[in-house]
Amino acid sequence: MKVWSFDTEIHRKRPGLVSPPLVCGSIVARELGSERLMIDKAQARQFLANAISNRDIHLVGANLTYDLGVMAAK
């Protein structure tokens, strides 16, 4: 199993806007020496789609539930 940390960066929060639009994302693998990669919106969506459909990938993140909500809000 491969463990990936996933995070999203969003536009500034505003009153009444539960999930502000996605700006970019970042990913890092658990493996020693792995670099943290900044990815654009399209890459973040593609990474998440691949991760969800792959049983060998485990996603973690400090605010993963919120990040998944941001991704689903599109």
**52-62 pLDDT tens trace:** 999 999 999 99
| Total domains in the fold of the chain | 1
pLDDT digits (tens, 9 = 90+) for 30-74: 876 777 899 999 999 999 999 999 999 999 999 999 999 999 986
Torsion angles phi and psi, residue 60, rounded to 5 = -135, 165
The predicted structure's pLDDT at residue 62: 94
Domain of 38 in residue numbering reads as 2-72
User: What mean pLDDT do residues 6-24 have?
Assistant: 90
Is there a contact between 47 and 24 (Cβ–Cβ < 8 Å)?
no
Helix (H) or strand (E) holding 4: strand 2-10
